[in-house]
Amino acid sequence: MNFSELGLHPFVMKALEAAGYTEPTDVQAQAVPAALTGADLLVSAQTGSGKTAAFMLPSLCRLAEPSAVRGQGPRILVLTPTRELAQQVEKAARTYGSEFRKMRTACLVGGAPYGPQLQQLSQPVDVVVATPGRLMDHMQRGKIDYSRLEVLVLDEADRMLDMGFIDDIQMIVANTPATRQTLLFSATLDGVVGKLARELTRDAQRIEVARKEDAEAQIDQKLHFFDDPMHKMRLLDSLVRDATLKQAVVFTATKAGAEDLSEELRDRGFLAEALHGDMPQHKRTRTLDRVRNGRVQFLVATDVAARGIDVAGISHVINFDAPRQAEDYVHRIGRTGRAGRSGTAVTLVGFRERHLVRNIERYTGQPIEVATIPGLEPTIKPRPEGFKSGAGKPWGDKPGYKGKRPGSGSGDWKAKSGGGWKDGQSKPWGDKPAYKGGADKPAYKPTGDKPHAAAGQQQAHKPKRAERFW
């Protein structure tokens, strides 16, 4: 299939041909014809699948006809979670709508001065791409007119909810015309996102595009365990000196961590810059331009850069801090291996964070290869294969469990279902007298399914640290 079969307006088709686009992606092939009918859509697709064109191409086709309502407010409104994604979507709108005469766009994002944005809104505008917070600011100033609005798009809806924008979104939607077309795009359509979707749409058509395994195979995913912060830094130092690394995004959990790590990399002689939400917009834009121009080799960023950053030269993604959410992992590693290129994604994980990897593997349906660097192997020992038959267990999962009590010499012990332990038997708590209970205190009745160990028993039977528990 090619774009000429989707029913797009000739102006949009001409712009696509000029941009060199011929074949639609799966999500575009399904969403574009459905959106052209005017129906509300709920679309779930993976990152990098071409979602921006899937909602922007059919929406721009409306601009071929003049608005039936007079005014200067937007006809198309797109809400995005981050500034970078908003700027990317506005750029796409200008590209796909380049054949429309006098088409105007506006990008309303936080961290940018109000003056230029107010100037954009002072004239008739066709497409507005905004983050919810800054759009609310303009609404409160009375600078937004929704009377002409025909299409409302919620891009990365799940991310906007995670960032706490649900109240702003509901307020914005409440001020838009009920006759609007609503297009909601999200990585998932379940849970809170599904509830919001039902509130905002009318008889919406649901489109779910399956994850493509061949696309995922372009990214070589690896996992490195570290023992402590010093070991973690030594691993990073080895990774950033990889001869195959051209440009990399290094993800941290906090803004302060991004600043500190970028400074550390600069001290070690690398070209590194930080990117996070506390930076003013002009500085963030300048940093991204330096990355695109190849003047920055390492972009140390928080998850604000996981969406909306499209730099072809990024060969590696390094998760210095493992992502808390599995969805964030997918968006992070999606910064490499773009446009058919291959990439490498490396995640550094502490022993106590192994559950995060387990969640990621369950979400993606793929195991992540555990790798080591010669001389920097972790000291975490592999998990024992299991307890020998008849050996004591640190937790009894069967009623009436019997076994040798470590340190007590010979003789079996067994928890009784009656009130206490018989005279002469080993007590479950060392030398302390057994608690007998009283009229005002309930008698302690140990049961056989959870026997209490003598002092030191848990240490005697505690399994060694495992390298991997999933």
Rounded to an integer, the average pLDDT of 310-319 is 87
- C-alpha neighbours within 13 Å on the C-beta side of residue 79: 28
Asked if 394 and 458 touch (Cβ cutoff 8 Å), the reply is yes
Encode burial over 354-384: b for 16+ CB neighbours within 10 A, e otherwise.
Answer: bebbebbbeebeeebeeeeeeeeebebeeee
Asked if 131 and 79 touch (Cβ cutoff 8 Å), the reply is yes
Provide the sign of the torsion angle of the four alpha carbons 268, 273, 277, 283, taken in this order: positive
Rounded to an integer, the average pLDDT of 325-350 is 86
The structure tokens listed for 432 are 């302390």
Count of CB atoms situated within 10 Å of the CB of 208: 12
pLDDT of residue 218: 82
Q: 282 or 380: whose pLDDT is higher?
A: 282
Of the pLDDT bands very low, low, confident and very high (cuts 50, 70, 90), residue 305 is: low
Polymer length in residues for the chain: 470
Q: Give burial (CB, 10 Å; 0-12/13-18/19+) of 120.
A: middle
Asked if 185 and 155 touch (Cβ cutoff 8 Å), the reply is yes
d(CA 156, CA 188): 9
pLDDT digits (tens, 9 = 90+) for 199-222: 899 999 999 886 554 444 488 999
Residue with tokens 């838009």: 176
pLDDT at 237 over 70: yes
45, 91, 208 from 127: Cα distances, Å? 23, 11, 26
pLDDT at 225 over 70: yes
Q: What is the mean pLDDT of the chain?
A: 80
Of the pLDDT bands very low, low, confident and very high (cuts 50, 70, 90), residue 47 is: low
pLDDT at 50 over 70: yes
pLDDT at 395 over 90: no
DSSP string, 333-379: HTTSS-TT--EEEEEEEEGGGHHHHHHHHHHHT---EE---TT----
pLDDT at 312 over 80: no
Asked if 188 and 9 touch (Cβ cutoff 8 Å), the reply is no
pLDDT at 307 over 60: yes
* Listed range (143-157, 248-262, 269-283) with the worst mean pLDDT: 269-283
pLDDT at 404 over 50: no
Asked if 74 and 97 touch (Cβ cutoff 8 Å), the reply is no
Rounded to an integer, the average pLDDT of 423-452 is 46
pLDDT of residue 340: 65
Count of CB atoms situated within 10 Å of the CB of 147: 12
Q: What percent of the chain has pLDDT over 90?
A: 49
Closest CA to 215 of 306, 340, 365: 340
Q: Give burial (CB, 10 Å; 0-12/13-18/19+) of 404.
A: middle
d(CA 76, CA 104): 11
Q: Give burial (CB, 10 Å; 0-12/13-18/19+) of 313.
A: middle
pLDDT digits (tens, 9 = 90+) for 287-300: 888 888 888 999 99
Rounded to an integer, the average pLDDT of 28-36 is 94
* Listed range (59-73, 244-258, 408-422) with the worst mean pLDDT: 408-422
Is residue 106 helix, strand or coil? Answer: strand
The crossing angle, in degrees rounded to 10, of helices 83-96 and 10-19 is 110
* Listed range (242-246, 326-330, 432-436) with the worst mean pLDDT: 432-436
d(CA 215, CA 340): 8
pLDDT at 420 over 60: no
Ranges assigned E (strand) in 168-305: 181-186, 205-208, 219-226, 247-251, 272-275, 298-301
Encode burial over 159-182: b for 16+ CB neighbours within 10 A, e otherwise.
Answer: bbbbbebbebbeebbeebeeebbb
Rounded to an integer, the average pLDDT of 71-85 is 92
415 backbone dihedrals φ, ψ, rounded to 5°: -70, 140
d(CA 12, CA 3): 10
DSSP state of 306: S
Rounded to an integer, the average pLDDT of 51-59 is 94
d(CA 260, CA 276): 12
pLDDT of residue 339: 61
pLDDT of residue 13: 94
**Bridge-based pairing state of the strands 298-301 and 272-275:** parallel
Of the pLDDT bands very low, low, confident and very high (cuts 50, 70, 90), residue 463 is: very low
d(CA 400, CA 128): 70
pLDDT of residue 215: 44
